[in-house]
Amino acid sequence: MAPAAPLVIGLMSGTSLDGVDAVLVDFCASRPRTLASFWLPYPPDIRLQALQLQAAQDNEIHSAAIFANQLARCYAEAVRQVIAAAGEDAAHIAAIGCHGQTIRHQPAAGYSVQLNNPALLAELAGIAVVADFRSRDIAAGGQGAPLVPAFHAEVFGDPDRHRIILNIGGIANVTDLNPGKPVRGFDCGPGNLLLDAWIERHQGLRYDEAGRWAAQGQVLPELLQSLLAETFFSAQPPKSCGRDEFNMSWIDRHLTGGQRPEDVQATLLELTALTATQAINRWCGRPEELFVCGGGARNLQLMARLQYHLQDCRVAATDALGQAADWVEAVAFAWLAWRTLHGEPGNLPDVTGARGPRVLGAIYPR
């Protein structure tokens, strides 16, 4: 039986490893309405542990379990803060949709690992938790990603206009909303992940605000072509990727030495823009509109390069459609949790490659 309360909290901590996005969403109307939002930055030790767990290490099972407990406490604090921001009561909230922190994504090997302790989160928050969204889709032969296209279709689709939704978080993914055709979606490559890692290495900053540093550099054609030779970019959808494929070691393998750091940054930004637009042209056809969500929507240099490569297409942030770009993915996982509570499927087989629609996630009662 579906819960009476139409309020769900969505939590997202993505590949960028910057912190936790929390939203409180009302599902009483035909379109989800965000009542409050809150961002909790990762404490330095949490972020460091998350980065370390991206690679194999000694005693990693113990380390991962301890990290998951710490992460659950961060999630619980984000939940407390977003409830307070909305002036609500935990008793009125049906569930928390919690994605967890991805440390491995290996659908070809039959798994994707998002560290989380949903039982502890349910205990700390006093609210039911829906978690582990990806594994059922993978069990059904899918990639387990991207999962947001179903939500994009629900809230951004237009019966008369061919729209693309481009989510640029750590990884970039495309949702193709073409009237009269099945919804399609896939990861198209690195989004902010490499840009953030490169500026942190050279300037100690978490991200390149508005793309200003990249704008000071020049694209290096030979480096760009070397990066574009990565086989993932030419692979046909369905496909997904993560830090397993794109990381600092991957960048370093393509460098010859002597390149100016700002030129590498400009080249990495062009890589994000070009791989996204090439994927759109190749597998979606030229859209009338491109709406961007995720942190990349605030990178003015990146938005300018997307517009350059799609000159006859309107390029804007999803704010123009009534959903703030910074919170779309967290709202999407609230929506996925709401569907799980109702016993409704959350995946799109045409997107992930699964054998059919599946109800996603596991429920941990309050």
pLDDT in tens, 34-91: 999 999 999 999 988 988 888 888 888 999 999 999 999 999 999 999 999 999 999 9
- Give the pLDDT score at 1: 42
User: Looking at the structure, do residues 79 and 169 belong to the same domain, yes or no?
Assistant: no
- State the CATH number of the domain containing residue 254: 3.30.420.40
User: Looking at the structure, do residues 190 and 287 belong to the same domain, yes or no?
Assistant: yes
126 in the Ramachandran plot: left (φ > 0), alpha (ψ -120 to 50) or beta? left
Q: Specify if 1 maps to a domain.
A: no
User: Looking at the structure, do residues 106 and 43 belong to the same domain, yes or no?
Assistant: yes
Q: Specify if 159 maps to a domain.
A: yes
The bridge status of strand 19-26 relative to strand 7-12 is antiparallel
- Give the pLDDT score at 16: 79
User: Looking at the structure, do residues 127 and 174 belong to the same domain, yes or no?
Assistant: no
Tokens read off for 137: 């889709």
pLDDT exceeds cutoff 70 at 360: yes
Type of residue at 78: A
Q: Specify if 2 maps to a domain.
A: no
Which value, to the nearest 10 degrees, does the dihedral of the CA atoms of residues 69, 113, 54, 235 take? -160
Q: Specify if 268 maps to a domain.
A: yes
> Could you tell me the residue range of the domain that residue 124 belongs to?
7-145+327-364
User: Looking at the structure, do residues 159 and 201 belong to the same domain, yes or no?
Assistant: yes
| Angle value at C-alpha 231, between 186 and 148, nearest 5 degrees | 10
Q: Specify if 186 maps to a domain.
A: yes
The bridge status of strand 19-26 relative to strand 33-41 is antiparallel
- Give the pLDDT score at 154: 94
User: Looking at the structure, do residues 156 and 305 belong to the same domain, yes or no?
Assistant: yes
pLDDT exceeds cutoff 90 at 364: yes
pLDDT digits (tens, 9 = 90+) for 201-253: 999 999 999 999 999 999 999 999 999 999 999 999 999 999 889 999 999 99
User: Looking at the structure, do residues 27 and 163 belong to the same domain, yes or no?
Assistant: no
Q: How far apart are CA 163 and CA 290, in angstroms?
A: 6
Q: Specify if 300 maps to a domain.
A: yes
Q: Specify if 269 maps to a domain.
A: yes
Percentage of the chain beyond pLDDT 90 is: 90
User: Looking at the structure, do residues 161 and 259 belong to the same domain, yes or no?
Assistant: yes
pTM for the predicted model, two decimal places: 0.93
User: Looking at the structure, do residues 338 and 293 belong to the same domain, yes or no?
Assistant: no
pLDDT exceeds cutoff 50 at 267: yes
Closest by alpha carbon to 115, among 176, 46, 162? 46
Q: Specify if 82 maps to a domain.
A: yes
Average pLDDT, the chain: 95
User: Looking at the structure, do residues 167 and 312 belong to the same domain, yes or no?
Assistant: yes
User: Looking at the structure, do residues 266 and 171 belong to the same domain, yes or no?
Assistant: yes
Q: How far apart are CA 342 and CA 94, in angstroms?
A: 11
Yes or no: say if 21 and 37 are a contact pair by the CB < 8 Å rule: yes
Total domains present in the chain:
2
For the segment 253-270, the average pLDDT, to the nearest whole number, is 97
pLDDT exceeds cutoff 60 at 114: yes
User: Looking at the structure, do residues 352 and 269 belong to the same domain, yes or no?
Assistant: no
